[in-house]
Amino acid sequence: MSIVCPVCGFPKEVCICGDLAKEQQRVIIRSARKRYGRIMTLIEGIDAKTVDLRDLGKKMKNKMACGGTVKKGVIELQGNHKQKAKEMLVKLGFNPQNIEVI
């Protein structure tokens, strides 16, 4: 017998809560100049309760071949990767209309 999701009511194998959460989130991608003039790409607005930020950050760092971290609900990537980050988030199921690149 399969376990039923308390949110959507579907069995865990076909649960759509994660997909719906990704589509409804408003994500902001911006760059900031850090210490010694280095540029960092900051990805904000992703809800840590519905999406595993550590796993998402790890995937993005591997795909973009850069360093980075996850601090206080913000994914920080070393370098200017704004457009690549948006493309990757769209591939992972985020709504492209809710992703704002500043």
The answer to whether residue 21 is domain-embedded is no
pLDDT for res 1: 56
User: Whole-angstrom Cα distance, residue 42 to residue 58?
Assistant: 14
Domain count for the chain: 1
Q: Which tens digits make up the pLDDT trace of 39-84?
A: 999 999 998 888 889 999 999 999 999 999 999 999 999 999 999 9
CATH number at residue 68: 3.30.780.10
Residue 4 scores a pLDDT above 90: no
Burial 78-94 (b: 16+ CB within 10 A, else e): bbebbebbbebbeeeeb
Q: Provide the residue range defining the domain that includes 95.
A: 26-101
User: Whole-angstrom Cα distance, residue 49 to residue 60?
Assistant: 19
The answer to whether residue 4 is domain-embedded is no
pLDDT for res 21: 67
User: Whole-angstrom Cα distance, residue 46 to residue 21?
Assistant: 9
pLDDT for res 20: 67
User: Whole-angstrom Cα distance, residue 34 to residue 11?
Assistant: 45
pTM above 0.85, yes or no: no
The answer to whether residue 8 is domain-embedded is no
The answer to whether residue 66 is domain-embedded is yes
